[in-house]
Amino acid sequence: MKNILWLIVGVGLGFVAAHQINRTPEGKRLFQDVDSRAHEFSNAVVDGYKEREAELRAAVGEAGDALSDFTAR
């Protein structure tokens, strides 16, 4: 229970600190930079996921073709 209390206090203090930092022009630029980097990272993860999914779908399709060729004999 004590750990949960510290977690809540930490989140609250972090929120207050971020709000104070965001009030300054430098802070706004910092958060915009962090936001743009987070978007770049998430886009890279999505692109990698879609690429790997396409590779796996192609492999499954090839395996299915090979299996149907094998059973047709």
What is the rounded average pLDDT of the residues 48-70? 88
Report pLDDT for 68: 76
Supply the pTM of this predicted model.
0.64
Report pLDDT for 73: 62
DSSP code string of 49-73? HHHHHHHHHHHHHHHHHHHHHHHH-
Provide φ and ψ at 24, rounded to 5°: -95, 155
CA distance linking residue 64 with residue 72, whole number of Å: 12
* Residue 53 confidence (pLDDT) above 70: yes
Report pLDDT for 72: 66
What is the rounded average pLDDT of the residues 8-27? 96
